[in-house]
Amino acid sequence: MAFERVPELYAAPNERAELLEKIKDMQSVDLSARQLCDLELLMNGGFAPLTGFLGQADYDGVVENMRLASGALWPMPITLDVTEKVAESLVMGEQIVLRDPEGVPLAVMDVEEMYTPDKDREAEMVYGANDMAHPAVRYLHNQTGKVYLGGPVTGIDEPVHYDYRQHRFTPNDLRRMFHKWGWRRVVAFQTRNPLHRAHVELTVRAAQQTEANLLIHPVVGMTKPGDVDHFTRVRCYEAVMRHYPDQTTAMALLHLAMRMAGPREALWHALIRKNHGCTHFVVGRDHAGPGKNSQGEDFYGPYDAQEMVTNYADEIGIEMVPFQAMVYVQERAQYVPINEVNDDETKLNISGTELRRRLREGLDIDEWFSYPDVVTELRKTHPPRDKQGFTLFFTGLSGSGKSTIANAVMVKLLEAGGRPVTLLDGDLVRKNLSSELTFSKEHRDLNILRIGYVASEITKNGGIAICAPIAPYESTRAQVRDMIEPLGGFLEIHVSTSLEVCEGRDRKG
């Protein structure tokens, strides 16, 4: 008996050949990293029942009450945002080709709608707060285009992934594998972090409790800025897989762009895992939480996500497996759910912050917390402080003295040695990287983003980038910060010299 397939959006072979001829005359939209993730899961059925990027009626329904216009449950707005300039070049009803950053055509979209969203409302309804401390809210306001396009998508080709192909499976790939292996009950575990002993204990308990096989299903698309890079994480996952019982557990990578939306995201993750053929889904403490808001409080309660999924248990088609946080009990020498620990027992735990400190400073990490082979992988990507890359981003008016300070800092760092130092001065960048740009806002932003990209590459490779542009727009500086912080340190320094003094110093006219 064949397995039950989830609908995909790819063109049939004869239709694909026709589309490849037609796209020569179509306008193109180059997709961002998030849009690429969304398109891939639209095309392969991971986002079923969606058939494309949301039109306004579907968007409004999802934002307001987590339902499509049809009434189907769907908690996350999947939209194709573009700039006003791109939108003005399009005509309602035309077809456009969606391309990856290298220009490879991946899909054709029928532009049925163009609409301007209320981003403040979207932030409040989807993320619970219009707070720029939330990474998805910051992305919404700083990086999302002002116009959304809605319409169905027809896939031409899958996005190409050169990494870890042995672990990448579409929903129908997994459904086929589960059918072949006789896995009728499968519990999925979502993660964006390396796995340690507590996670292994939790997932083994979940599989035993549900009498199911286990799918470790980590996200390797966009996660929270500052997370461990996915290459390191996958090496850690491969190490951990050796500690599970044979023939019980599989691993597959999910190319999803997380929104860190807490309760809504947990519901979304459950629906995605159902599409991948799973029957159960683990929701733990603070599922997909983004951390602290601008007042220093958690965005969501620790078990809000479990409550949300429970509220829709009758219609999501997958069973939630709720779990409390796992802690190590010294007297028992084992991990136990925190609600099962006695008052007189000693609970041990290492927070993410403490783990990073120990890695950074070369301190011991106890074996009760993690496996030695996992710690070895983490140490490879956590060099000591004096080997880490970072960016110093000086801003200020022309004549404020930022270039003078930047040059002085560069010389002192070169005197100290140990890391390569690169100065990206505003005038020098204008001359060598951005000579064709004007001083319009659009071109100023583009110039700053070019500087940010170069600085991110320097930082990623363990160097020091010293930037000294004028950079007057906060949103653009925030984009640069988001570009660099996942790769190393970022320090923004405003040289606050008064306008009168700057005018008096002006040597450029």
Residue 393, amino acid: F
The dihedrals phi and psi of 168, each to the nearest 5 degrees, come to -100, 120
- Asked if residue 485 lies in contact with residue 226, where contact means CB atoms within 8 angstroms, the answer is yes
Task: Kindly name the residue from 175, 192, 444, 481 that is annotated as catalytic.
Answer: 192
Task: Kindly name the residue from 193, 210, 232, 422 that is annotated as catalytic.
Answer: 193
Whether 65 is catalytic: no
Report residue 104 CA to chain centroid gap: 22
Beta strand pairing call for 464-468 and 421-425: parallel
The dihedrals phi and psi of 15, each to the nearest 5 degrees, come to -70, -35
- Asked if residue 284 lies in contact with residue 206, where contact means CB atoms within 8 angstroms, the answer is no
Task: Kindly name the residue from 44, 172, 191, 476 that is annotated as catalytic.
Answer: 191
Alpha-helical (H) ranges within 303-388 are: 304-311, 352-361, 372-380
How is residue 127 written in tokens?
Answer: 């993320």
Q: What would you report as the CA-atom Rg of the chain, rounded to the nearest whole angstrom?
A: 25
Please name which of 275, 245, 277 lies closest in space to residue 177, comparing C-alpha atoms.
277
Whether 192 is catalytic: yes
- Asked if residue 41 lies in contact with residue 35, where contact means CB atoms within 8 angstroms, the answer is no
∠ CA 76-205-292, rounded to 5°: 40
Three-state SS at 130: coil
Whether 311 is catalytic: no
Sign of the dihedral defined by the CA atoms of residues 314, 319, 324, 325, in that order = negative
Could you give the residue numbers annotated as active site? Answer: 191-193
